[in-house]
Amino acid sequence: MALIVQKYGGTSVGTVERIQAVAEKIRKCRENGDSVVVVVSAMSGETNRLIDMAAQIDPHGPAREMDVLVSTGEQVTIALLSIALEKIGAPARSYTGSQIRILTDDAYSKARILNIDDSRVRSDLDAGRVVVVAGFQGVDAEGNITTLGRGGSDTTAVAMAAALHADECQIFTDVDGVYTTDPRVEPKARRLDRITFEEMLEMASLGSKILQIRSVEFAGKYNVPLRVLSSFTEGGGTLITFEDDEMEEAMISGIAFNRDEAKLTIQGVPDRPGIAFEILGPIGQANIEVDMIVQNVGDNDTTDFTFTVHRNEYAKALEILRQIAAKVGARKVVGDDKIVKISLVGVGMRSHAGIAAAMFEALAKEGVNIQMISTSEIKISVVVAEKYLELVVRALHEAFGLDREPAMG
Ligand code: ASP
Ligand code: MG
């Protein structure tokens, strides 16, 4: 008999009928002899609806009251689901975050979980009940309601699974797993049976918005096997786990991309100690996050710097960079916000040489100019003109055989 934590997102509980279908799924799981703790989101659209109402009064309402407000969405779902479970003969009990005491810090709207008291949950499970927990919310040491950030129910589920030492945390959503790349860009994208936490973090931070990133970090830290699967279709989904022997065959697990990038270059800056700090210091002070950074080899005692920022921050960064250029006596500032970053991700890179070369060869064949390159242990990223996004993703998908099942053994 296993202990499973299941999480159902907003679309999976978007209507009363869907809530009843979820109850049916849970009942079946219990009939297999498993104990089930269920974490739910608000019904789809509900959190936005609540925020919009508050915004009609004040677009910047007090953070404490905003959390009291948005946490109500999940409270509706836990009650409806428990009613649905009881109706079909599955004893159930619902709990808000403060009732089971999901203790968090006091950072409203982005609180972090500090501790979960599992005693109540355990005694309910021992009594044969399904425990239904409101996602996304907790309570601080003073008893104030807090929330965990948008998409935070994923993190609640993983934290519950960690606290209970559950056998698996299953995230039911509207996609049937994690894909080699976005199927809207490459229709040949294939669902992965497994992916490592590290790879998932890279894929997630690069824009595959299947799970809240924090939940993946949490699962990796506490070694909670995490599975993403569809609540609408049958199938095993994708298991996110630690690296093991079975996974070694795949060199590359996926291709992630990020459309929200912009590039800035400052040319002809004096090549002297401290210059990188003089340039990037003010950018950091303006709270602009810098992603890739490239400094060219100095020439005539001057050098060029190029870096990327989020596209929303492009105008602000450009303005700051112009001021810096005047101050340090740089020759010119140029920028481009029609760029994308495309990355190959795979733990297999650690043990295979030549992946970067194969990537660049694929781009060369398509005649695509690479503007920037960066690498980390399990990722190689290139910046190219936005118009090449589809072309490059498909070319790489083909070149690395991602549409085929990896060979066994
Ligand atoms: N209901 C919250 C949101 O919409 C939390 C969640 O769905 O995970 O962000
Ligand atoms: Mg979600």
pLDDT digits (tens, 9 = 90+) for 213-237: 889 999 999 999 999 999 888 888 9
Residue 169 has pLDDT above 80, yes or no: yes
- Ligand 1 neighbour 135 (Cβ under 6 A): yes
Which ligand gives the minimal distance to the CA of 210? 2
Asked if 346 and 380 touch (Cβ cutoff 8 Å), the reply is: no
Q: Which atom of ligand 1 is nearest to the CA of 156?
A: 8
Residue type, 41: S
- Ligand 1 neighbour 14 (Cβ under 6 A): no
pLDDT, tens digit (0-9, with 9 covering 90-100), for 256-290: 999 989 999 999 999 989 999 999 999 999 999 99
Query: CA dist 349 to 201, 244, 293, 374, 398, Å?
Result: 16, 15, 22, 14, 17
Nearest C-alpha to atom 9 of ligand 1 is from which residue? 150
User: For the whole model, what pTM was predicted?
Assistant: 0.85
- Ligand 1 neighbour 97 (Cβ under 6 A): no
pLDDT, tens digit (0-9, with 9 covering 90-100), for 62-86: 999 999 999 999 999 999 999 999 9
Query: CA dist 348 to 77, 104, 229, Å?
Result: 42, 37, 24
* Alpha-carbon span 135 to 324, nearest angstrom: 46
Continuous segment of H or E residues that includes residue 340: strand 332-345
Q: What is the pLDDT of residue 191?
A: 92
pLDDT band at 409 (very low <50, low <70, confident <90, very high): very low
Residue 245 has pLDDT above 80, yes or no: no
Give the CA count within 13 Å in the CB-facing half-sphere of 101.
9
E-only strand ranges, 41-127: 92-95, 102-104, 113-116
- Ligand 1 neighbour 264 (Cβ under 6 A): no
User: What's the chain's average pLDDT?
Assistant: 93
pLDDT, tens digit (0-9, with 9 covering 90-100), for 172-218: 988 888 999 998 899 999 999 999 999 998 887 665 678 888 899 99
Q: Which atom of ligand 1 is nearest to the CA of 74?
A: 1
Residue 407 has pLDDT above 70, yes or no: no
Q: Are strands 302-310 and 290-295 parallel, antiparallel or unpaired?
A: antiparallel
Within 8 A by CB and 6+ apart from 371, the residues are 263, 339, 382, 383, 384, 385
Residue 329 has pLDDT above 60, yes or no: yes
Q: What is the pLDDT of residue 84?
A: 98
Task: Find, among 149, 160, 254, the residue nearest to 204 by Cα.
Answer: 254
Which residue segments constitute the domains of the chain, with CATH numbers given?
A: 3-174 (3.40.1160.10), 255-399 (3.30.2130.10)
Q: Which atom of ligand 1 is nearest to the CA of 136?
A: 5
